[in-house]
Structure 1
Amino acid sequence: MTPADIQLVEASFRLVAPIAEPAAAIFYEKLFALDPTLRPMFAHGDMHEQGRKLMQALGFVVGNLRAPEKLLPVVADLGRRHAGYGVQAGHYGTVGAALLATLREGLGPHFTPEVAAAWEAAYALLSAVMLDSAAPAQAA
């Protein structure tokens, strides 16, 4: 990610943070529309709490994009935990698509092509770290 990408992600997330609860609901609505087979992974959880955790995780990520030494170990651990929940490599593309669709809806005209590209770069980095860390967990 470039410094400009980081700045765009930070600035756009400041617009999302005040609408965190509805943004999380939109995210899961889009995720399950894209892949209904993911819904059972959340069947025993409180979706309100899950949405809160999602937004908290996004806030942590955005807040630490300038500190990869702090961010990347946490993201790697997240990848290992998600492997334990049954998340497969193919799910990452679906999650990324749901995230971008949520941002597009939530940010409206502020979701410019530059903002979209910055979020794509951020998600590509994070998902790569998560997938790399999940691989040993899935092989075990």
Structure 2
Amino acid sequence: MTPDQVKLVQDSFAKVAPISGKAALIFYDRLFEVAPGVRAMFPDDMTEQRRKLMTTLAVVVNGLSDLPSMLSAASALAKRHVGYGAKAEHYPVVGGALLWTLEKGLGEAWTADVAAAWTAAYGTLSGYMISEAYGRTQVAE
């Protein structure tokens, strides 16, 4: 990721943060719509899960400025997700739901450059997490 892409991701996330509860709801609704089979991996009451999602996204987005220091946390997160039943093939689906949510949340602020920056950020992080969790390099788009 370029420094400009990091800034675009961070600036656009700052616009989503005030509606984080709604954004998390939109994200999970979309995820379960496009991948209904993953619903069983989550609790019936999604309140805490939605909060965790937005907290984790905030940590990741803020950590993009110092990617090496964030990668150990990403490694641990990836390994925990294996225990929840996550598979490498889930990462592209999650990425699609995330980008779709951001597009809806940002409206006109979702530009081609912002989309490219988020795609690069998610691809970098998910590729690393897949490698850490499953021992192989794969890019999730």
Which bracket does the TM-score occupy, shorter chain normalised? Answer: over 0.9
Structure 1 outlier segments of 4+, above 6 Å: none
The correspondence of residues 16-95 of structure 1 with structure 2, limited to 5 A, is 16-42=16-42, 44-95=43-94
Deviations 1:15-46 (A, max 9, x none): 0000000000000000001100010001x353
> One-letter code of the match for 2:115?
A
Alignment of 1:89-108 (within 5 A): 89-108=88-107
Alignment RMSD: 0.9
Letter in 2 for 1:10: Q
What do the CA deviations read for 1:68-92 (whole angstroms, capped 9, x no partner)?
Answer: 2221110111110001111011100
Q: Which amino acid aligns with 2:78?
A: G
Gaps of 5+ in 1: none
Secondary structure in structure 1 of the residue aligned to 2:64: coil
* Equivalence for 1:129: 128
SS in 2 for 1:88: coil
- Identity percentage over the alignment? 50
* CA distance in structure 1 between the aligned counterparts of 2:53 and 2:30, rounded to whole angstroms: 14
Residues 102-136 of structure 1 deviation map (CA, whole Å, 9 limit, x = unaligned): 00000000000100000000000110111011115
Amino acid paired to 2:6: I
Q: Please tell me the residue identity of whatever aligns with 2:40.
A: P
Give the Cα–Cα distance (whole angstroms) in 2 for the partners of residues 74 and 100 of structure 1. Answer: 22
- AA aligned opposite 1:71: M
1:23 aligned partner, one-letter code: A
Compute the TM-score of the two structures, normalised by the length of structure 1.
0.94
Length-normalised TM-score, structure 2: 0.93
Gaps of 5+ in 2: 136-141
Count of paired positions: 135
1:3-18 residue pairs with structure 2 within 5 A? 3-18=3-18
In structure 1, distance between residues paired with 2:67 and 2:54? 19
